[in-house]
């Protein structure tokens, strides 16, 4: 049982380059999320998708776009990478029961992105 | 504006003793609280949670206490083991409808053998 799978695990970009982080979950979860983790900042929500076909901004959405491709997959795109986007990115998913989400998230292993 | 605060960035405890990790929150609308554990180079994993209708939840060596009037929760680990050495994130959410989860900045626990 793979759970939440993120690719790539490591990536180095130059300022201005674009890239997409891929995420897939095999737990049939309704909701999916992208977080970034920075020293002294904890985990901050970038975007989330409450259900297939919907996406919403989190705390720090600027510079990112997302696509909920289907129920399994939720991708994060950096159109023009900046050094401030150097971070560790985590994808997560959760089950929503009757529209209620307790916050029990299942995380991927993370993608470490460096923007030079 | 940090809605979930973990004021201790690190904590060192001797093996076998109690570890107490603290968390404060400011949003009175939060009604569900969680602790996540994170090892280096891995994603966070859910550890234990508590609903606002309770003041204590226990799971093996882990107990979470909630003091709603003080907007404070704590995680107790008894006895602490070297494998408990990790970063612990406190998190909070609102369960009415869909709500996102808000995390604290984490506390790094080191259990010394």
* Residue range B104-113: mean pLDDT, rounded: 96
Listing DSSP states for B30-71 in one string gives --EEEEEEE-TTS--EEEEEEETT-SEEEETTEEEEEETTTT
Q: Report the alpha-carbon distance of residue B55 to residue B72 in Å, rounded.
A: 11
B87: pLDDT strictly greater than 90: yes
**B24/chain A closest Cα distance in angstroms:** 15
What's the pLDDT score for residue A97?
A: 66
What's the pLDDT score for residue B98?
A: 56
Give yes or no for A88 touching B (CB within 8 A). no
B44, B90, B91, best to mutate vs chain A, most A CBs in 10 Å: B44
A4: pLDDT strictly greater than 60: yes
Q: Report the alpha-carbon distance of residue A97 to residue A94 in Å, rounded.
A: 10
What's the pLDDT score for residue B100?
A: 76
What chain B residue is nearest to A112 in terms of C-alpha separation? B41
Average predicted confidence (pLDDT) for chain A: 92
A11: pLDDT strictly greater than 90: yes
């Amino acid at each position: 049982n793979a759970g939440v799978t993120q690719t790539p695990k490591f990536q180095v970009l130059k300022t201005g380059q674009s890239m997409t982080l891929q995420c897939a979950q095999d737990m049939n979860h309704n909701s999916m999320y992208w977080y970034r983790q920075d020293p002294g900042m904890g985990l901050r929500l970038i975007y989330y998708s409450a259900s297939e076909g919907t996406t919403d901004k989190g705390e720090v959405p600027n510079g990112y776009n997302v696509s909920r491709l289907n129920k399994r997959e939720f991708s994060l795109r950096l159109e023009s990478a900046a050094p401030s986007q150097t971070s560790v990115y985590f994808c997560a998913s959760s089950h929503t029961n009757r529209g209620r989400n307790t916050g029990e998230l299942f995380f991927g292993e993370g993608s470490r992105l460096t923007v030079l | 504006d940090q809605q979930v605060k973990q004021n201790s960035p690190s904590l060192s405890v001797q093996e076998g003793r109690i570890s107490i990790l603290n968390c404060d929150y400011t949003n009175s609308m939060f009604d569900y609280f969680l602790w996540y554990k994170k090892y280096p180079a891995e994603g966070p994993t859910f550890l234990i949670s508590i609903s606002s209708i309770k003041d204590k939840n226990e799971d093996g060596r882990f107990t979470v206490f909630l003091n709603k009037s003080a907007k404070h929760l704590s995680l107790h680990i008894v006895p602490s083991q070297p494998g408990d050495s990790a970063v612990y994130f406190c998190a909070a959410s609102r369960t009415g409808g869909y709500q996102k989860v808000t995390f604290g900045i984490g506390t790094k626990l080191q259990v010394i053998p």
